[in-house]
Amino acid sequence: MQQLLPVSWKLNPISIAKIAISIFYAVGIAGLIWEETRSIFQFLTPFHLLLSAIILFYFHQDWNKAFLVFGILTFLIGMSSEIIGVKTGLIFGDYIYGPVLGLKLMEVPLIIGVNWLILAYMWGKLSGDLNISRLYAAIVASIGMVAMDFLIEPVAIALDFWQWTSGDIPFSNYLGWLGIAFLIQLSFQFLPFQKKNTISSYLLVNMCLFFAILNFLL
C-alpha cells in the first residue's frame, strides 16, 4: 500500500513522531479544558511529559559521555534548585507543589527534573542552530526558557501543578529561571556532543502552542 503513495506521503519515523506529537498535545488540550475529563488528564500529565522526553531523545544522534553528563547535570541542577526553592523560598520564591505531578523527592515531583531537561535541550538546540557564539546561544536559550515559563505559570496554577504562597507569581521566579537556565545552557552549549535532533523544534512549537492555547481556555 505504501508503495502506491506519492513519495511525500510515505511515512517515516520523523513523520510518525510528528503526527503522534500533534495528536497527544491536541488531545491533551481537549481533555484539560473539559471539566468532566480534566482530573484524568491532570493525572496523566507526568506520563505525557515522560512520553515527550522519550520521543525527543529517540531522535538525539550523539549519545556520548558529554551528552550523558549534560543530561545528568541538568536533571540534578533542576531538581536541586527546585528543592531549595520549595524548602527555603530562595531562587524562585515561596511555592508548593500539588499532588498532580506524581512521585516526589523532598516535596518536588521527579518529573520536574525531566521537564528542566526537555526544555533546556529544546531551547539549547534551537539557539545553537543560530549563527552566533556559544555564549550568546546560551543567553538566547535562557531567555527563551524564561519566556516559555510565562506561558506555563498560569496554566500550572490553574491545574494545581503548583501554587504560590502569596497567590501571585513573584518576579523572583523569572529571575531564578533565568539564572538556573543560563547555568544549564552553558553546559549544553560547551559540552562536546553533537546538537542534532530532527524532532526537537517541532516538539517545542507544539509545547508552546499547548500552553498558549490553555492560557486562553482555562
Predicted confidence band of residue 109 (pLDDT cuts 50, 70, 90): very high
Domain carrying residue 166: 2-217
pLDDT of 1 over the 50 cut:
no
Higher pLDDT among residues 207 and 2, named by residue: 207
pLDDT(41) > 80: yes
Residues 6 or more apart in contact with residue 150 via CB below 8 angstroms: 174
Q: What is the pLDDT of residue 155?
A: 97
Between 3 and 37, the more confident residue is 37
Beta bridge partners of 164: 95
- pTM reported for the whole predicted model: 0.94
User: With bands split at pLDDT 50, 70 and 90, how would you rate the model's confidence at 11?
Assistant: confident
Q: What domain count does the chain have?
A: 1
Number of H helices, E strands in the chain: 7, 4
Q: Residue 164: in which H helix or E strand, if any?
A: strand 162-164
pLDDT at 3: 52
Say how far apart CA 201 and CA 185 lie, in whole Å: 16
- Give how far Cα 188 sits from Cα of 1, 27, 91, 163, Å: 43, 32, 21, 30
Closest among 126, 171, 168 to 146, alpha carbons compared: 171
Model confidence pLDDT, tens digit, residues 119-166? 999 999 999 999 999 999 999 999 999 999 999 999 999 999 999 999
pLDDT digits (tens, 9 = 90+) for 53-95: 999 999 999 999 999 999 999 999 999 999 999 999 999 999 9
